[in-house]
A and B are shown apart, each in its own frame.
Chain A
Amino acid sequence: MNTTRIPLLHTGVPGLDHILGGGFPAHSLYLIEGLAGSGKTTLACQIGFEHARQGKKVLILTLIAETHNKMLNHLSNFSFFDESLVGDRIKFLGAYSELLRGGLRPLQKLIAATLAEQRPDIMIIDGFRTVREAAPSDMSLSEFMLSLNSLVSTMECTTFLLSPTEGNVADSENTLVDGLIELSQYERGLQLIREIKVFKLRGSKHMLGRHVFEVGSDGVAIYPRLEAINSAAGAEPPQTPFRVGFGIDGWDLLTNGGVISGSTTALLGNPGVGKTLMALHFIYDGLKRGETCLIVGFHESPTRLLEKARSVDIDLQPHLDSGKLQVIWNPPLEVLVDGLAQQVLHNIEQRKVVRLMVDGIDALREIILHAHRTRSFLVALVNELRRRNVTTFFTQELPYFAHGTARPEASESMLFENIILMRYVDVGGVNRRQIGVLKLRESTYDAANHVLLISNQGMSIEGPASFQRAQPL
């Protein structure tokens, strides 16, 4: 059968098309629901302004909602707002009086007349819950919804109904629309987290589950859950692996040239043992070879990091100035982890980053909002890095005083191809740094622990740690 495919309406809202599977199938009826302040009017109007800018006609029909003046005032705070479009390509019309006068039928006729006369490409009906309240019966509401759906389809007008409700209940507003999207928010401590969920979207392979979003000066920005992106991603590109050095001469020798390109390495160690310095050596080694590098940090500011590097004769400033090195620094406070992941992956793609240092993975774990997500998020992140053939070093803190090595997580081994353990050992009352390989993929290596020295010339390896009665601190 020669069936015409429905075109997709691209929203222009960062991240939204991604979770919708490309966009909204056009000429259909959608319900965007969410309690007061959830961002539904902003989201819908952002889509409207985006299309008006492209020359499309947009109609905003209000029932019981904000007055048009107030709505315009609120929208004018966003960068997507363009006053010159209002009145010309974006029209605001009130429809509540029709509902008040005669109920659903006059409203329906008004909508039909408006569609026939204005021929909008997009229609937004704000305050749609009023329609349910005005319906004399569930049956009449169902008939209204059916007719409205048919009407917007016939007139090829993609329509968004906005309602201050939540959940996917078996009401006709939910069942007789082509798509149902929920905006919700919850408090995590004192932080407010906003989430979007696509309950259904006919004719589209959308991403399941919830995704966080922000409402900022540019409007709504959605950060698709990294795990969902990774699940939908293709296989790893074919690669010819090569060795990537640590940038520490003695250590590169002991590890047969370093790690495999595109692999992930955990640098485990007690506080102050030199994990960050070692990762900085790795980055500096790449920079000296002309490679593009990225540092993602949480605790030490870029200035402090530069000072730390300088203290071991690593001068990163010229590379920052040339753009070969960039630092993404976010204290692990109110950071949306999917937003950060998106920023990092975007940076990697745009700049063709080949070496990445994440300092450290503990802070990354802290900002993953749902504890049960930690493992899957990190697996997805590592997969995305591998897909891009980025060689990554993660630093990971061990406790100050512990005899064990790392946290007993089975997933650790799956995350990292290579694990390097750095720790202090007490040798005759003197704390000495010791380094050893716990795991190094596709490589032979010297299994002995070695003494690690740090001087103002950088890190170096002294020799095997054959201490007598050496005790880990």
Chain B
Amino acid sequence: MNSPPASPAGPLLLLVDDEFDVLSAYSMLFEYHGYRVLTANNGAEALAAAAIERPDLVLSDLMMPVMDGGRLCKAWRDDAQLRNIPFILTSAGMIKEPALPYDSFFKKPVRFEVLLAEIERLIAPKGE
């Protein structure tokens, strides 16, 4: 049980949240499921991290300081290098801004299994 079924080259997730404990909990759980994890505390940090290493999927909170998840989502789609990377947005509240270009949205609290299944679906090779 102490050895998670991870492969060293598992898919890379970029987790974006301003809450330390959320990042910490998700990191440990996704790592257990074989993912590699990058973390960022806001949208600006997420873009900077993605410029260094291209993730396979972004899981971002909506309400954050500096650059929120909505602005990050738009910036993501405006970036030719990133626009095809799946983007999941989560929030404790409802989204006020219409037509944000995310792939999936989940209202918190979201069951981890649901999130995991959606991530697996979004990063699965097309045609599977």
List residues of chain A with CB under 8 Å of any chain B CB.
1-2, 4, 27, 98, 108-110, 112-118, 143, 146-147, 149-151, 153-156
Contacts and interface: CB of A to CB of B under 8 A. Distances in A.
B123 interface: no
A143 B112 CA distance: 21
A174 to B, nearest CB: 17
B33 interface: yes
Contacts, number: 69
Interface residues of B, number: 21
A113 B32 CA distance: 6
Interface in B20-45: 20-22, 24-26, 28-29, 31-33
State the majority secondary structure of interface residues on A: helix
B111 interface: yes
B125 to A, nearest CB: 24
Contact of A4 (B1, B20, B109): B109
A150 B21 contact: yes
Interface of B: 1-2, 4, 19-22, 24-26, 28-29, 31-33, 93-94, 107, 109, 111-112
Contacts of A116: 4, 29, 32-33, 112
Contacts of A146: 20-21, 24
Contacts of A2: 94, 107
A154 B24 contact: no
Nearest to A4: B109
Contacts of A110: 1-2
Contacts of B26: 154
Nearest to A98: B2
A155 B112 contact: yes
A117 B3 CA distance: 11
A108 B111 contact: no
Given A117-B1, A153-B109, A156-B111, A112 B21 contact: no
A149 B20 CA distance: 11
14 contacts: A108-B24, A109-B31, A110-B2, A112-B25, A113-B2, A116-B112, A117-B32, A143-B24, A147-B21, A147-B24, A147-B25, A147-B28, A151-B28, A153-B25
A103 to B, nearest CB: 15
Given A113-B2, A154-B112, A149 B21 contact: yes
